[in-house]
Structure formats: structure tokens, C-alpha cells
Amino acid sequence: MPIDATQLYDDQNIFAKILRGEIPNRTVYEDEWALAFHDINPQAPEHVLVIPKGAYVCWDDFSAKASEAEIAGFVRAVGHVARTMGLVEPGYRLLANTGFDAHQEVPHLHVHIFGGKPLGPMLVR
Ligand code: 5GP
């Protein structure tokens, strides 16, 4: 079920539980600002999720309320992960679904990194 991007943060969401170590994940990278892990249901040969350590529902919440340090740290982490996955030269795609129409399912901001094959043109179906 897609979530309401304007809802209050629910610390029982699955990614909050992953951040607290209550649910296992296949970690790719972790620093002060972000955690990156393999998506449980990959949609491309490389499919990693990057989430901020802070409690933000979605991109809107994060871009409006996060500190400059959180934003810089998170954006740098996304770039670092893609770089260390070797995806810069072949190319990759970022996606941050936000709210109902984008079918965001987990109410903790996550950026998808897709790569590992030619992804074709962006599709908005
Ligand atoms: P959304 O539709 O919210 O942008 O994407 C949520 C993503 O989280 C989906 O790609 C889904 O496969 C992934 N996901 C959901 N639950 C889990 C989980 O428990 N572990 C991991 N690693 N990924 C999850």
C-alpha cells in the first residue's frame, strides 16, 4: 500500500527497524549519515537502497527539515555508494518515490540505486 507523504514519522516502519538492527539487511555501506543495503526484491542486477540515519518520511520531509550536514552527508553517501559499486562509468539511475502517486511503500526516505545493465529510457507509465 502506498503511504501518505505528509504523515508523521512512524518509528515502527521496516527501515527504522533495519537502522536499529532489529531486522537483518545486506549492508553495502554505512557512515554517520546513511545506511545502504541491497533491496530485498531487486528490480535490476544492481539494486541498492540508501537511507538517511535521521527520521524522515520521504524526500519532501527530508528536503524541508534536514540540516545542511544531514543533506550533504546523505547526498555524498549516495554518490559514494554508486561510485564504489563501479556504476559511474556504465551509468546508473536514482529514484526516490514520494507518496501515493509514486507508490512509496516504506515511510522512511530511501533512494533506490539501479544499475548493472542498460536501463533504457525513463518510463512513467
Ligand atoms: P518504495 O516503493 O517505497 O520506493 O520501495 C520500497 C522498497 O523497499 C522496495 O523495493 C522493496 O523491495 C524494499 N523493501 C521492503 N522491505 C524490505 C526489507 O525488509 N528489506 C529490504 N532490504 N528491502 C525491503
| Cα 52 from Cα 39, distance rounded (Å) | 15
Give mean pLDDT in consecutive 10-residue pieces for the chain, a chain of 125 residues.
Answer: 97 98 98 98 98 98 98 98 98 98 98 97 79
Atom 20 of ligand 1, nearest CA residue: 40
Q: With contact defined as beta carbons under 8 Å apart, do 13 and 105 qualify? A: no
Give the pTM: 0.98
Classified as helix, coil or strand, 16 is helix
Express each pLDDT in 83-106 by its tens digit.
999 999 999 999 999 999 999 999
Ligand 1 atom closest to the Cα of residue 105 is 3
38 Cα to the center of ligand 1, angstroms: 9
Q: 3-state class of 56 per DSSP?
A: coil
Q: How far apart are CA 9 and CA 51, in angstroms?
A: 14
